[in-house]
Amino acid sequence: MSATPNAIDAITAPVSSPGEKFFPKFEVTPELTAKAQELVALYPEGKEQSAVLPIIHHVQEEFGYVSPEAMPWIAEMCKSTPIHVAGIVTFYPGIHRKCPGKFHFRVCRTIACALSGGEELLPYICSKMGVDPAEMTDEEPMVVSPDGLWSLEAVECLANCGFGPNVMVNDTLYSQVTRGKIDEIMAACKKELAAERKEAAAAKKEAAAARKEAKAAAAAAEEAPAPAPAPEPETKKPAAKKATTKKAAPKKK
């Protein structure tokens, strides 16, 4: 429809990612606003702008990334302007403007990890995820797998230099990672996903049963209220929010 956006319009040009299907779409709810207000209240009066990073973190946890629609809302919440929020969002590498996959891998490539083989892991993980390593550039170091399940980002120092290579998957740090360990981690992720899906399916079934029951009851009472809608499947549960309980503490040899 339109040509490539100019450098300014590109700030809010949507970047589609297969990872989006695992996260809800950004939406301002009373809960979200309340949370933002709570974060703003942590800072001295008149210093609402300080809450910009905390709010961004919260948005990212809930929705996976900071979408173009979120920026003006964030600005409003912390009494800033959209251009300043854009300045923050485009500055920090820890803030995503593109939705990561359900399982986001961050591979450290800085000196100590590089010495222990961190960079060599990247092509392997790419092949396992089914993404093209060439897509990872210095400017855009994150790639998302076509199924949206995985994303891979080359990052700088994770501050666990003695125990490289270090890889973070969502919130969990894995140290002294080998190819074999990558296989294990990815298998565990798949298992987690399967369990989640099963749980969701069970919840759905339960809801359906409840609905049926309610219907029957309604039929019996003839004037029962409409049944509550079934909870939505997995998309309700953002991956980042689920803290995997795997041991994070680094090991010493």
Partner 1 sequence: MSDITYKPGKEPHPRETRRIFRNIDREGYDPSIKCFMKDGGYETLKKCLKMEPADITNEVKKSGLRGRGGAGFPTGVKWTFIPKGNTKPVYLVCNCDESEPGTFKDRFIVHQDPHQLIEGMIIACYAVQAHYAVIYMREEFPEAARIMQNALKEAEAKNFLGKNIQGSGFDLQIVLHRGAGAYICGEETGLINSIEGVRPYPRIKPPFFPAAIGLYGCPTIVNNVESLCQVRQVMLMGGEAYAAEGAQRSPGTRIIGVSGDVKRPGVYEIISGSITYGELLYDICGGPRIGRKFKAIIPGGASAKVMRCDEILKDRNPDGTVREMTIFDVPMDLDSIAKFGSMSGSGGVIVMDDTRSMPKVLNNLNRFFAWESCGQCSPCREGNPWMYKLSTRICEGKGSPEDVDLLKSVADNICGRTVCAFGEACSWPTQAFTTKFREEFLALTKPINALKAHSAETAEARKFLTRED
Partner 2 sequence: MSNNPTILPKDAAAAEGKVNVQINGKWYRFPKGTRIADACNSVGVHVPCFCYHPKLSVAGSCRMCLVEQGMPPRLAPGATPTYGEDGYLPIQWMPRAVIACANTVAENMGIRTDGKLCNEARRGVLEFLLTNHPLDCPICDQAGECKLQEYTTDYGSGTHRFTEDKTKKGKNISIGPRVNLDQERCVLCRRCVRFMKEIAGEDVLGVVGRGTHNAIACYPGTSLDSNYSMNVVDICPVGAMTSKDFRFKMRVWFLKSTPTIDVNCGTGTNINIWTREQQVYRITPRQNDEVNSCWMPDSHRLNYKYINAPERLTTPLVKTDHGAPQRPSTWDATLNMVVEQLHSCAPTETAIICSARMTNEELYMVRALARQLGVTKLDIVPRKGENDGMLVSDDRNPNTNGAKLILGKNGSGLAAIRRGIKNNSIRFLIALGEDVTEEAGIEPEDLEGLDYILAMSHSENATTKAADVVLPSVTFAEKYGTMINVAGRIQRLNKAIEPQGDARPDWDILRQLTELLGCDCPRVIACPSPMIILEEMAQEFEPMKGLTWGNIGNGGVVIMDTGVTIPLIEREKGKK
CA distance 165 to 199: 34
E strands of the chain, at which residues?
A: 103-108, 142-144, 150-155, 167-169, 172-174
H runs (alpha helix) in 41-133: 52-63, 70-77, 82-89, 111-115, 118-129
Q: Which residues of this chain interact with partner 1, rule CB under 8 A?
A: 42-44, 47-54, 56-57, 78, 80, 84, 87-88, 91-95, 106, 109-112, 114-116, 138, 155-164, 168, 171-173, 243, 248-249, 251-253
User: Which residues lie closer than 8 Å to 232 by C-beta, 6 or more apart?
Assistant: none
Residue 157 interface partner, choices partner 1, partner 2, none, CB cut-off 5-8 Å depending on type = partner 1
Query: Which one of residues 29, 81, 137, 235 is an interface residue with partner 2 (CB under 8 A)?
Result: 81
CA distance 96 to 41: 25
Contact between 11 and partner 2 (CB under 8 A)? yes
Residue 164 interface partner, choices partner 1, partner 2, none, CB cut-off 5-8 Å depending on type = partner 1
Contact between 9 and partner 2 (CB under 8 A)? yes
Query: Which one of residues 1, 2, 3, 7 is an interface residue with partner 2 (CB under 8 A)?
Result: 7
Residue 165 CB, nearest approach to partner 1 (Å): 11
Residue 95 interface partner, choices partner 1, partner 2, none, CB cut-off 5-8 Å depending on type = partner 1
User: Which residues lie closer than 8 Å to 44 by C-beta, 6 or more apart?
Assistant: 50
Taking residues 86 to 105 in sequence order and writing x for each that binds partner 2 by CB under 8 A, - otherwise, the string is xx--xxxx------------
CA distance 115 to 163: 11
Cβ nearer to partner 1, comparing 17 with 110: 110
Q: Report whether the peptide linkage leading into residue 165 is cis, meaning its omega lies within 30 degrees of zero.
A: yes
**Which parts of this chain interact with partner 2 (CB under 8 A)?**
6-9, 11-12, 71-72, 81-84, 86-87, 90-93, 139
